[in-house]
């Protein structure tokens, strides 16, 4: 493949992934309201367009047309930087996720992954860690006590659960032997999904994913009954939109990562037996991956409308005193079993 073709193909793929994550994040806001309505026996948005399908568009336009208010006492540069960092980091995480195997068109192989770097998981961890800064900077720069409290809570919560998440991933890396997401997905053909080998690791990972995305039951940073809006109390217009939007993109990306790490990614047990051409299989794989992702997004919403919020000390105790020892235990057990079986 020539360099120019390579660049064009990657650019197209990048833009495609970017647009898809934006659209999914937009419609997650709609889905969230519809799911909430369904669970609470209400109707939900139904005014804009058929079944309220244009609601996200209307919300987006509203966000654009609202006045931007930057408080007098705030630090203006950081105030703008905060939501930008939050949005930016959530947009670039998708670059290492394998959305499918590869399409073979006109003698070239087009991998359905923006890039396969051999430290894929570390890239995801690194970028999500930068995401903490978006919230911390925004909350501090607002110069509002509620925002400050929200930002403090958010940052200590996210960093606490990051340790347990890292340890859960280490146990996974021990079973797969690679850090590349493509390698991990490719190894899970048939029924060899990692959830079978790492049930405890997955449990730890999904709890941490909820905490990292600030979703209920870990939504203390923006617990509206005590902190008004938490770190985004002072934000308006598209800056507020960025914070809310980044949360939904993060939800999408973490669903994609959970599906890839533990649920076989684009693999499906029966797919090899159908005798389809490689290109059809690749496209079907993308469909399966998205089905898994949508299930996890629904699961995020399901939990949100089922479980009440933790108290802050309960949250920190769960993270430090239960999840970290549990993940270290999981790691030791995994290592021991693998070594005994491979002797």
Partner 1 sequence: MDSNGPIDYLPIAITVLVAGGFVVTTMFVSNILGPKRKGKIKLDTFECGIESQGNARIPFSIKYFLAAILFVLFDVEVIFLYPWAVDFRKLGMDGFWEMISYMGVILIGFFYILKKGALKWDTD
> Does 200 interact with partner 1 (rule: CB under 8 A)?
no
Per-position x/- string for 201-220, each x denoting binding to partner 1 as judged by CB under 8 A, each - no binding: --------------------
The interface region with partner 1, picked from 177-185, 194-202, 269-277, 279-287 by CB under 8 A, is 177-185
**What region, left, alpha or beta, does residue 127 occupy, with left being phi > 0 and alpha being psi -120 to 50 degrees?**
alpha
Q: Which two three-digit tokens encode residue 78?
A: 């950081």
8 Å CB contact between 302 and 216: no
Q: Which of 32, 162, 219, 222 binds partner 1 (CB under 8 A)?
A: 162
Q: Residue 187, interface with partner 1 (CB under 8 A)? A: no
* Residue 105, strand partner residues: 108
Which is nearer to partner 1, 54 or 328 (by Cβ)? 328
- Of 142, 216, 223, 260, which lies in the binding site for partner 1, with binding defined by CB under 8 A? 142
In terms of Cβ atoms closer than 10 Å to its own Cβ (0-12, 13-18, 19+), residue 170 is middle
For residue 53, the SS3 value is: coil
Nearest to partner 1 of 72, 277 (CB atom): 72
- 39: number of Cβ within 10 Å: 13
Instruction: Give the strand pairing for 102-105 and 108-111.
Output: antiparallel
Beta bridge partners of 109: 104
Residues 265 to 324 in contact with partner 1, rule: CB under 8 A: 312-313, 316-317, 320-321, 324
180 makes contact with partner 1 (CB under 8 A): yes
Least Cβ distance, residue 166 to partner 1 (angstroms): 4
Q: What is the DSSP string of 186-247?
A: HT--TT--HHHH-HHHHHHHHHHHHHHTT-TTS-GGG-HHHHTTGGGTT--HHHHHHHHHHH
From 167-175, 190-198, 253-261, 302-310, give the range in contact with partner 1 by CB under 8 A.
Answer: 167-175
Between residue 110 and residue 129, which ones bind partner 1 under the rule CB under 8 A?
Answer: 114-118, 122-123
What is the smallest separation between the CB atom of 135 and partner 1, expressed in angstroms? 13
DSSP states of 234-296 as a string?
A: T--HHHHHHHHHHHHHHHHHHHHHHHHHHS-TT--TTGGGG---HHHHHHHHHHHHHHHHHHH
Which 42-61 positions form the footprint of partner 1 (CB under 8 A)? none
Could you say which residues in the range 9-28 bind partner 1, by CB under 8 A?
Answer: 10-11, 13-15, 18
Smallest separation, CB 126 to partner 1 (Å): 10
Q: Least distance to partner 1 from the beta carbon of 157, Å? A: 9
65-94: which residues touch partner 1 (CB under 8 A)?
A: 65-74, 80, 84, 87-88, 91-92, 94
Choosing from 128, 147, 216, 267, the residue that interacts with partner 1 (CB under 8 A) is 147
Size of the site for partner 1 (CB under 8 A): 86
Does 244 bind partner 1 (CB under 8 A)? Our answer is: no
CA distance 245 to 32: 13
User: Kind and range of the H or E element at 332?
Assistant: helix 324-341
Which residues in the 93-112 window bind partner 1 by CB under 8 A?
94-95
Site string for partner 1, 217-236 (x = CB under 8 A): -----------x----xx--
CB of 19 to partner 1, least distance (A): 10
CB of residue 211 to partner 1, shortest distance in Å:
13
Rounded to an integer, what is the distance from CA 338 to the centroid of its chain? 29
328: Cβ–Cβ under 8 A, 6 or more apart, which residues?
A: 167
């Amino acid at each position: 493949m020539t360099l120019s073709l390579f660049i064009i193909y990657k650019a197209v793929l990048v833009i495609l992934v970017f647009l898809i994550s934006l659209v999914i994040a937009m419609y997650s806001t709609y889905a969230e309201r519809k799911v909430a309505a369904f669970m609470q026996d209400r109707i939900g948005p139904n005014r804009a367009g058929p079944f309220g399908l244009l609601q996200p568009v209307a919300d987006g336009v509203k966000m654009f047309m609202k006045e931007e208010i930057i408080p007098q006492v705030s630090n203006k540069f950081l105030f703008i930087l905060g939501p930008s960092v939050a949005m930016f980091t959530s947009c670039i995480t998708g670059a290492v996720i394998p959305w499918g195997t590869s399409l073979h068109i006109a003698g070239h192989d087009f991998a359905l992954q923006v890039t396969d770097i051999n430290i894929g998981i570390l890239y995801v961890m690194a970028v999500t860690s930068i995401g903490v800064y978006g919230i911390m900077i925004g909350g501090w720069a607002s110069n509002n006590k509620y925002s400050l409290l929200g930002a403090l809570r958010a940052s200590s919560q996210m960093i606490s659960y990051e340790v347990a998440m890292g340890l859960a991933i280490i146990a996974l890396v021990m079973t797969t032997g690679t850090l590349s997401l493509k390698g991990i997905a490719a190894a899970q053909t048939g029924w060899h999904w990692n959830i079978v080998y790492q049930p405890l690791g997955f449990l730890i990972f999904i709890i941490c994913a909820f905490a990292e995305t600030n979703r209920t039951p870990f939504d203390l940073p923006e617990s509206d009954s005590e902190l008004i809006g938490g770190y985004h109390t002072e934000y308006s217009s598209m800056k507020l939109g960025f914070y809310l939007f980044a949360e939904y993109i993060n939800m999408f990306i973490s669903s994609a990562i959970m599906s890839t790490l533990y649920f076989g990614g684009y693999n499906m047990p029966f797919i090899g037996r159908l005798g389809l051409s490689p290109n059809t299989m690749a496209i079907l794989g993308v469909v399966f991956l998205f089905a898994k992702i949508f299930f996890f997004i629904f699961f995020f919403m399901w939990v949100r409308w089922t479980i009440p919020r933790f108290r802050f000390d309960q949250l920190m105790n769960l993270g430090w005193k239960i999840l970290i020892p549990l993940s270290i235990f999981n790691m030791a057990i995994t290592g021991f079993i693998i070594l005994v079986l491979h002797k």
